[in-house]
Amino acid sequence: MFTIIENVLTQQEVAELLEQMQKSVWIGGAKTAGNLAKNVKQNLQLDDENKITKSLSQRVEQRLMQNPDFISKALPNVFYPPKFNLYQDGGFYGAHVDSAVLTHPYNGQSIRADLSATLFLNQPDSYQGGELQIDTGMGVQEIKLKAGDMILYSSGALHQVLPVTAGQRIASFMWIQSLIKNDYQRTLLNQLDESIQGLRQHFGVQSQHTELLQLSELYHNLLRLWSET
């Protein structure tokens, strides 16, 4: 999966997050990288143990769980708590693949990383460089979104953050274990859900058209068949 979700946060919400982030503590990002990744990682991250960081993380997760587009595309089961990073002065994160299994920092639960996400928190014209470069399997894409927008992609994709040569690039990043492990099945369910929602808008949200009811039945039965919970 490779998809952009717009307006996850409003501009006011972005401004509030940035203001609160200034009250937390930044640490070297390499401290949280794996054995291989730490050699190609040069950035700063908010200290996950700081109370303000935890509050910001919970806020981002709550907003995502209120976003129908995100729910439809990710079908989230378990979140690794959203984290926050900052790139400046040539900071970068070289080509790497995210770890397949993560340990939840608060409860020790093992989390399979199906999806990775980056939520951009400052405007793209406020810094130079810093593109998120992702190998989608059908070519390399460079992503640099406006504040409040998110890119959602497979955790198994090779990706990197190009050097930030001027200004600061600030973002929240996270991993999600989906209800649907298989990326193709998850994509099919999202396409079916979007078709159902489009038909509801066309016929009216209270529509009882037989075909629409049958499509809804199909969606939920496939979800029941493929879900891992």
Same domain flag for 211 and 104: no
Phi-psi map region of 88: left, alpha, beta (phi>0 left; psi -120 to 50 alpha): beta
Same domain flag for 83 and 29: yes
Same domain flag for 21 and 81: yes
Binding residue positions: 96, 98, 159, 169
The domain boundary, picked from 141, 162, 178, lies at 178
Q: What average pLDDT does this structure show over 209-228? A: 92
Is 80 exceeded by the pLDDT of residue 34? no
Same domain flag for 108 and 217: no
Same domain flag for 166 and 84: yes
Same domain flag for 107 and 199: no
Give pLDDT, residue 25.
Answer: 86
pLDDT, the chain, mean: 92
13-17, 46-50, 73-77, 113-117: least confidently modelled range: 46-50
- The CATH code of the domain that includes 127 is 2.60.120.620
Number of domains in the chain: 2
Same domain flag for 135 and 212: no
Same domain flag for 112 and 154: yes
Same domain flag for 34 and 115: yes
Q: What b/e sequence results for 187-217 when a residue is b if at least 16 CB atoms lie within 10 Å of its CB, and e otherwise?
A: eebbebbeebeebbeeeeeeeeeeebeebee
Q: What average pLDDT does this structure show over 197-215? A: 79
Same domain flag for 160 and 79: yes
The domain boundary, picked from 157, 178, 199, lies at 178
Domain range enclosing 210: 183-226
Give pLDDT, residue 84.
Answer: 96
Same domain flag for 117 and 19: yes
Give pLDDT, residue 207.
Answer: 62
Same domain flag for 161 and 70: yes
- Is 57:114 a contact under the CB 8 Å cutoff? no
Give pLDDT, residue 228.
Answer: 85
Give pLDDT, residue 206.
Answer: 64
Alpha carbons 45 and 119: distance in angstroms, whole number: 14
Binding residue positions for 2-oxoglutarate: 169
Torsion of CA 99, 104, 108, 114, to 10 degrees: -50
Identify which has the larger pLDDT, 49 or 113.
Answer: 113
Binding residue positions for Fe cation: 96, 98, 159
- Pairing assessment for the beta strands 164-178 and 132-135 based on DSSP bridges: unpaired
